[in-house]
Amino acid sequence: MSKPAAPLKGRAARLARLMPSTGPSTAARTPFVLLVVVLLGGGLITLLLLNSALNEGSFRLSELKRDTTELTDEQQALQRDVDSRSQPDALERRARELGMVPGGSPAFLDPDGTVRGNPTEATAPPPSPSPTPSPRASAGAAPDPDASAAGATAGPSGSAPAAEPGSAAGSDSATAPAAESTPPPTSPGR
């Protein structure tokens, strides 16, 4: 089947005598096989380390997404609270709880120093009779945190400040609580 090798001549014969031809050598394959095994093992270990690092990053990412969702929900709840407290009727109610009264008609100063308009003093409307206690207050519910600040200045009805014991009794002392020295605030856009 296979032909015997033809005898070599010249230079090829001399080189063939220097290298023994005892068949395929297994000693020459051993370093190559070890190199391939080391490369495959190193690649496998590197792949495992990379996979574990990616999994750790994935867990951290899902944790951060959950935290972001919670903080977004909290921010939206706080924004709804701010929006409900900044509505005009809520601001008016809170101002009345603090003893504030609606301002009179404003007056404006022109650049030349003349007064435009007819300024009037703000007066409090007569106090209304005490409202009946709400079911929330009678059930022993915790008071509104905004009302706790007003409780220090509000009278027994919670709508107007109480007159101090040493002050003169009269309608002026109940309507203007110690703010005679400062001018009433005016809105710049009106």
Predicted confidence (pLDDT) per residue in 84-132, tens digit:
999 999 999 999 899 888 887 888 999 998 989 888 887 777 666 666 6
Cβ neighbours of residue 109 under 8 Å, at least 6 residues apart? Answer: 115, 116
Q: In terms of pLDDT, which residue wins out, 170 or 110?
A: 110
Strand partners, 108: 116
Cβ neighbours of residue 123 under 8 Å, at least 6 residues apart? Answer: 101, 104, 175
Residue whose structure tokens are 């008016």: 92
d(CA 186, CA 190): 8
Confidence of residue 14 (pLDDT cuts 50, 70, 90): confident
Q: How many residues in total does the chain contain? A: 190
Per the CB < 8 A criterion, the answer to whether 108 and 115 are in contact is: yes
d(CA 16, CA 103): 118
What is the rounded average pLDDT for all residues in the chain?
73
| 3-state SS, one letter per residue, for 135-163 | HHHHCCCCCCHHHHHHHCCCCCCCCCCCC
pTM of whole model > 0.85? Answer: no
Strand partners, 109: 115
